[in-house]
């Protein structure tokens, strides 16, 4: 784009018009197909209607206008760009060993969204390239230094709305997710003021108000991974279920599902999505700790033979809930306790990029009261920010953890360290 658009505060589409010269090759009509395959990587990458055009007589001569086409190439392309083998092949196809200068007028519509933003914003205010799409909503994250330009960025976002047929709204969030319901304030910077959206993920339909619940499209693969991991005969307790991205596909698989979320809006849309997908799940609107202490505990004491999975997808604080498993069944009948099903926890947790495994193991041990089992599976889900990773830690709860509520965390760690040395234990305690 023209240098004159740099620093523009109010979008002026006409300012993007300029005449440029593109290199071009003259190709016989009968060789178009073969030449297109050969020169695909060298064709101009601007959004122009035609990259193969009729040659003007003033450029190539009257005698060559018929039976030939001009291939428009990337700026800077010369005959030296081609290897000797490519030149030989072009010669066999009847292509002249000459680059023509083709004049063309480019405008606003010829540039991609991010190219326009890069051209407008000062060098130090470079726009973020990324955005995520949730149904008809495009979600961008503007940094503090970009906020003065949010209106021009909003105007530029109209380009995305034009090009992505399913998009009707562009939003920017005000702050990080830091409330107990995991949703964030947002503002519309382009398009409709409508946050109720609908998405389809791996064939399952979800509807919700994006401004009042949590949804992350980047976890689509993780939702499917866990769904594939559980067996049809398993029973699943989703402690922080949200609007159902784990619960619903797992229920559709045939599993018995108990799904809970503290956010009343998430609970409302969870019920809605269960019905929308014509499946069954037992849904609850309570605190995660209470959900485990009542629903999970009561189910375990039924001595069902089915394996149990506990999903804890609240990576910022889920680790703090692990202490609820200590002594969860301490008041249960001993005969019943001997026949409780296997309980596998899938804990989501953030950890630093450096020494992240050691960090999460330490925090799990502190909350659970014992070290993570050696056969635990630590899966790196995704990078969420510079130097910050999201993990899923899967492990089976031990009988001693479920039975021993009154085991003090410090005492359990001391016992592990002393390994039967009573004198050392007394000294440390």
Binding residues: 223, 261-262, 287-288, 313
* Dihedral sign for Cα atoms in the order 294, 297, 301, 304: positive
Distance, in Å, from the CA atom of 215 to the CA atom of 225, rounded to the nearest integer, reads 17
218: left (phi over 0), alpha (psi -120 to 50) or beta: alpha
Q: Which helix (H) or strand (E) holds 198?
A: strand 196-201
Annotated binding site for S-adenosyl-L-methionine: 223, 261-262, 287-288, 313
Q: Which of 321, 320, 341 is nearest to 329 (CA)?
A: 341
Q: In degrees to the nearest 10, what's the CA dihedral of 296, 299, 300, 306?
A: -110
Cα–chain center distance at 358: 25
Question: Which is nearest to 367 in space by CA: 428, 287, 289?
Answer: 289
Give the contacts of 379 (CB within 8 A, at least 6 positions apart): 391, 392, 393, 394
User: Which residues are CB-neighbours of 62 under 8 A, at least 6 positions away?
Assistant: none
Q: Which element (helix H / strand E) includes 258? A: strand 256-260
Cβ atoms of 1 and 12 closer than 8 Å: no
Token code pair at residue 326: 């200590």
Q: Helix H segments across 211-296?
A: 220-229, 247-253, 264-276, 288-291
The conformation of residue 388, written as its DSSP 8-state character, comes to E
CA 148 to chain centre: 27
Residue 366 has, within 13 A of its CA and on its CB side, a CA count of 9
């Amino acid at each position: 784009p023209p240098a004159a658009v740099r620093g523009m505060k109010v979008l002026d589409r006409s300012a993007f018009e300029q005449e440029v010269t593109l290199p071009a090759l003259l190709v016989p009509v009968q060789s178009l197909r073969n030449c297109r395959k050969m020169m695909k990587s060298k064709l101009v990458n601007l959004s122009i209607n035609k990259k193969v055009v009729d040659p003007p007589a003033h450029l190539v001569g009257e005698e060559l206008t018929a039976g030939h086409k001009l291939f428009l190439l990337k700026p800077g392309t010369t005959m030296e760009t081609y290897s000797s083998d490519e030149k030989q092949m072009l010669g066999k196809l009847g292509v002249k060993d000459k680059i023509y200068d083709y004049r063309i007028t480019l405008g606003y519509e010829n540039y991609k969204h991010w190219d326009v933003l890069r051209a407008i914003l000062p060098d130090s205010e470079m726009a973020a390239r990324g955005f995520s799409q949730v149904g008809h909503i495009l979600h961008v994250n503007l940094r503090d230094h970009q906020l003065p330009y949010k209106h021009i960025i909003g105007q530029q976002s109209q380009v995305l709305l034009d090009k992505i047929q399913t998009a009707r709204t562009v939003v920017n969030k005000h702050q990080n997710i830091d409330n107990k319901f995991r949703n964030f304030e947002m503002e519309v910077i382009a398009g409709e003021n409508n946050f109720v959206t609908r998405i389809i993920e791996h064939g399952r339909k979800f509807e919700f108000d994006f401004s009042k619940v949590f949804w992350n499209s980047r976890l689509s693969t993780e939702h499917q991974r866990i769904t594939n991991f559980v067996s049809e005969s398993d029973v699943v307790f989703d402690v922080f279920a949200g609007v159902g991205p784990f619960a619903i596909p797992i229920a559709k698989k045939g599993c018995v599902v108990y799904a809970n979320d503290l956010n009343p809006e998430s609970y409302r849309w969870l019920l809605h999505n269960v019905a929308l997908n014509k499946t069954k799940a037992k849904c609850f609107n309570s605190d995660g700790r209470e959900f485990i202490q009542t629903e999970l505990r009561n189910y375990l004491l039924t001595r069902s033979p089915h394996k149990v999975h506990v999903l804890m997808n609240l990576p910022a604080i889920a680790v703090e809930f692990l202490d609820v498993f200590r002594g969860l069944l301490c008041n249960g009948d001993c005969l019943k306790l001997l026949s409780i099903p296997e309980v596998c926890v899938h804990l989501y947790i953030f950890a630093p990029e450096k020494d992240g495994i050691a960090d999460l193991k330490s925090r799990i041990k502190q909350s659970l009261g014992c070290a993570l089992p050696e056969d635990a599976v630590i899966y790196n889900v995704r990078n969420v920010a510079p130097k910050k990773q999201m993990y899923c830690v899967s492990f089976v709860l031990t009988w001693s953890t479920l039975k021993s509520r009154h085991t003090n965390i410090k005492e359990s760690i001391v016992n592990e360290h002393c390994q039967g040395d009573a004198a050392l234990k007394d000294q440390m305690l």
